[in-house]
């Protein structure tokens, strides 16, 4: 069902949590994994400045994760779209380019005022994407099915 999964990542622990779900889905469906690390260029008075990288070493970390996925037998690659559009738009464009069947993204799980103030790539993807989006909440908020639930048969 999911031939290609686009994993939106910023190199954070939240994105790594989403990668756990990507691995599970890719294993089930034999999916290709495309890690998307969007780089938003500055605009306004800072136009023309170098792309914003949150922390040094993020691209190296992502390259290592791709190598790890390949070593595990997954077809995986890293795309780094760059532009003046919002990160969610860059992720969506990359997902279009690889014809992804699903976008997976981690989220802080903020709501209310803090979500409005901070913005949310996951929220923007959910509202604007033309493809399904799986949003993975922070650790401790994802419930794994219990043995009893997993053994139940649908009625």
The domain of 10 spans: 1-32+58-75
Per-residue pLDDT tens over the stretch 97-146: 999 999 999 987 555 544 444 458 888 999 999 999 999 988 665 555 55
Give domain status of residue 19, yes or no: yes
Domain identity same for 23 and 71? yes
Residues 67 and 89 in one domain: no
Residue 13 lies in a domain: yes
Given a cut of 50, is residue 154 above it in pLDDT?
A: no
| Residue predicted with more confidence, 150 or 108 | 108
Specify the number of domains making up the chain: 2
pLDDT at residue number 117: 40
Q: What is the pLDDT of residue 54?
A: 52
pLDDT of residue 42: 62
- The CB-based long-range contact list for 91-96 (8 Å cut-off, 24+ gap) reads 91/6, 91/8, 91/36, 91/38, 91/121, 91/125, 92/125, 92/128, 92/129, 92/130, 94/6, 94/34, 94/36, 94/38, 95/6, 95/34, 95/36, 95/129, 95/131
Query: H helices of the chain, where?
Result: 13-29, 58-71, 87-97, 112-118, 121-128, 147-151
Please determine, for residue 65, whether its predicted confidence score (pLDDT) is greater than 60.
yes
Residue 145 lies in a domain: no
Q: Is 37 among the domain residues?
A: no
Highest mean pLDDT among 6-15, 60-69, 111-120: 60-69
User: Which of these ranges, 24-38, 49-63, 83-97, 137-151, has the smallest mean pLDDT?
Assistant: 137-151
Q: Is the pLDDT of residue 147 over 60?
A: no
């Amino acid at each position: 069902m999911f031939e290609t999964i686009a994993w939106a990542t910023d190199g954070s622990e939240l994105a790594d949590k989403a990668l756990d779900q990507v691995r599970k889905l890719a294993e089930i469906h034999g999916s290709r994994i495309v890690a998307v690390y969007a780089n938003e260029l500055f605009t306004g008075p800072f136009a023309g400045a170098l792309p914003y990288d949150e922390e040094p070493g993020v691209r190296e970390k992502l390259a290592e994760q791709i190598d790890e996925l390949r070593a595990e037998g997954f077809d995986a690659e890293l795309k780094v779209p760059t532009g003046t559009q919002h990160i969610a738009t860059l992720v969506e464009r990359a997902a279009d380019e690889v014809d992804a069947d699903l976008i997976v993204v981690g989220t802080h799980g903020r709501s209310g005022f803090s979500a409005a103030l901070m913005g949310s790539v996951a929220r923007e993807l959910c509202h604007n994407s033309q493809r399904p989006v799986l949003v993975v909440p922070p650790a401790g908020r994802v419930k794994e099915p219990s043995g009893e639930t997993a053994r139940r048969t649908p009625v």
